[in-house]
């Protein structure tokens, strides 16, 4: 990228060119957790040594880049070349999956490397005050000891429809959260820090696109399956949101089988145990537990048929509480759904796993920091 010599940049001042050059270098340094010399960076970004040196001076002053320890070069005399690296500890970001039955929170550095993770499971977080107390506890534990690595952005995945402005439009699962201003109170936890909310399934699909089963996929369907049910999809390589953020929100349609499916699932759980134990047992092919998971697949299959035939995905990725038994669940869907399709589709477990929503939320937070704080696209 030869920014400083691009004749197509019309009316660009030297100051703007210097800023553009420094952003190109910062982007290059952020891609890998290694240090680079001025000569190496000059070759990578296609800029002259003096231009690189000036840009590095700016980035060091801004706090995004630091001088690294020089590497010894055997059999070479003279002063060692200075090396520079992006300071991924200059800030941190949060991604939190705030669900009806559990919370997963992750704090990461500016390269997305996990610094802390907290997971808590609950019988039910529908009560607003219990949810608020639980969120405060998780956030406190995630941010303990941040020191010189301040939180620059936080994103929360919620079981709700979130519009294009980031406002919660409505939620069937946890209406009391909105009524009792839980989202507003969460924002108050981070004064002066950008705090975002997004739909849980859409964030999980985002994580799959970056790190999992949607990499290289143009059209895909993501399913959240368990006591919470949801869907999100990628169309032509982009996450589909809909005009009001409600794309994939089929949980209230009786023809899908989804409204009654969670209650039917819980009714099949033997007394003295819980859903988590049953799903784990099904993943280990315990017969009675497998029957519970397969029956759940049959309950939700009508809605999945409708989604698959509507968007024609290359792959259907399954996450949510059924994940420990996702292979059993996917096999049951294949048996039930595929005969109803004109073209077969692959059903596969999420490869991002339990942290899919939280990882998608991290991606949203990192995107904001790169754009608003670092000046990167």
Per residue in 120-166, pLDDT (tens digit) is: 999 889 999 999 999 999 999 999 976 668 999 999 999 999 998 88
CB contact at 8 A, 257 and 302? yes
Per residue in 321-356, pLDDT (tens digit) is: 999 999 999 999 999 999 999 999 999 999 999 999
* Average pLDDT score, the chain: 91
pTM of the model: 0.89
Indicate the pairing of strand 65-68 with strand 83-86: antiparallel
The pLDDT, as a whole number, for residue 230 is: 94
CB contact at 8 A, 199 and 231? no
The pLDDT, as a whole number, for residue 2 is: 33
Radius of gyration of the chain measured on its C-alpha atoms: 24
Q: Find the length of the chain.
A: 377
Place of tokens 């975002």: 196
pLDDT band at 7 (very low <50, low <70, confident <90, very high): very low
Helix locations, the chain, DSSP H: 14-31, 38-45, 49-62, 128-143, 175-179, 182-188, 200-211, 261-267, 275-283, 287-311, 326-337, 356-368
Per residue in 255-312, pLDDT (tens digit) is: 999 999 999 999 999 999 999 999 999 999 999 999 999 999 999 999 999 999 999 9
* Distance in angstroms between the alpha carbons of the first and the last residue of the chain: 14
- What lies within 8 Å, CB to CB, of 275 at 6+ separation is 226, 227, 265, 266, 269, 321
Per residue in 26-39, pLDDT (tens digit) is: 999 999 899 999 99
Name the strand (E) or helix (H) holding 124: none
Per residue in 40-91, pLDDT (tens digit) is: 999 999 999 999 999 999 999 999 999 987 665 555 555 678 899 999 999 9
Rounded Cα distance between 10 and 111, Å, is 33
Place of tokens 């995945």: 157
pLDDT band at 243 (very low <50, low <70, confident <90, very high): very high
The pLDDT, as a whole number, for residue 252 is: 87
The pLDDT, as a whole number, for residue 159 is: 94
102-122 mean pLDDT:
94
Place of tokens 């000569």: 39
Backbone CA torsion sign across 184, 186, 191, 196: negative
Backbone CA torsion sign across 322, 325, 331, 332: negative
Rounded Cα distance between 153 and 106, Å, is 12
- Which conformational region is residue 211 in: left (phi greater than 0), alpha (psi within -120 to 50 degrees), or beta? alpha
User: By C-alpha distance, which of 169, 195, 173 is closest to 125?
Assistant: 173
The pLDDT, as a whole number, for residue 18 is: 87
Please state, as a whole number, how many other Cβ atoms lie within 10 Å of the Cβ of residue 243.
8
Per residue in 167-212, pLDDT (tens digit) is: 999 898 899 999 999 999 999 999 999 999 999 999 999 999 999 9
Rounded Cα distance between 170 and 8, Å, is 47
In order of 17, 206, 217, 319, the CA distances from 330 in angstroms are: 52, 21, 19, 10
In order of 144, 320, 336, 339, the CA distances from 308 in angstroms are: 44, 18, 13, 12
């Amino acid at each position: 990228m030869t920014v400083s010599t691009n004749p197509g940049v019309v009316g660009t001042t030297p100051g703007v060119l210097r800023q553009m050059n420094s952003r190109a270098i910062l982007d290059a340094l952020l891609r890998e957790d290694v240090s680079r010399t001025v000569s190496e960076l000059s070759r990578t970004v296609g800029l002259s040594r003096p231009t690189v040196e000036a840009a590095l001076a700016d980035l060091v002053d801004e706090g995004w880049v630091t001088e690294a320890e020089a590497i010894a070069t055997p059999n070479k005399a003279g002063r060692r070349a200075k090396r520079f690296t992006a300071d991924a500890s200059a800030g941190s970001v949060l991604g939190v999956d705030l669900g009806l039955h559990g919370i997963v929170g992750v704090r990461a550095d500016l390269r997305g490397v996990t610094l802390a993770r907290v997971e808590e499971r609950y019988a039910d977080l529908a009560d607003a005050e219990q949810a608020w107390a639980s969120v405060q506890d998780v956030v406190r534990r995630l941010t303990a000891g941040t020191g010189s690595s301040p939180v620059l952005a936080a994103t929360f995945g919620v079981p709700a429809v979130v519009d294009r402005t980031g406002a919660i439009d409505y939620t069937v699962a946890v209406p009391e959260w909105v009524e009792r201003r839980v989202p507003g109170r969460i924002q108050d936890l981070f004064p002066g820090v950008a705090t975002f909310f997004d739909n849980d399934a859409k964030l999980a699909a985002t994580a799959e696109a970056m790190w999992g089963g949607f990499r290289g996929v143009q059209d895909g369907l993501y399913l959240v399956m368990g006591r919470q049910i949801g869907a999100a999809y990628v169309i032509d390589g982009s996450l589909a949101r809909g005009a009001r953020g409600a794309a994939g929100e089929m949980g209230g349609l009786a023809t899908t089988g989804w409204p009654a499916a969670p209650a039917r699932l819980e009714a099949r759980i033997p007394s003295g145990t819980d859903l988590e134990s049953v799903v784990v047992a099904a993943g280990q092919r315990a017969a009675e537990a497998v029957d519970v998971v397969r029956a759940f697949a049959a309950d939700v299959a009508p809605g999945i048929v409708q989604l698959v035939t509507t968007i024609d995905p290359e792959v259907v990725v399954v996450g949510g509480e059924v994940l420990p038994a996702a292979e059993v669940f996917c096999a049951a869907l294949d048996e039930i759904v595929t005969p109803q399709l004109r073209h077969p589709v692959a059903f596969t477990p999420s490869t991002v796993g339990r942290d899919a929503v939280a990882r998608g939320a991290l991606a949203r937070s990192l995107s904001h920091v790169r754009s608003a704080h670092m000046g990167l696209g």
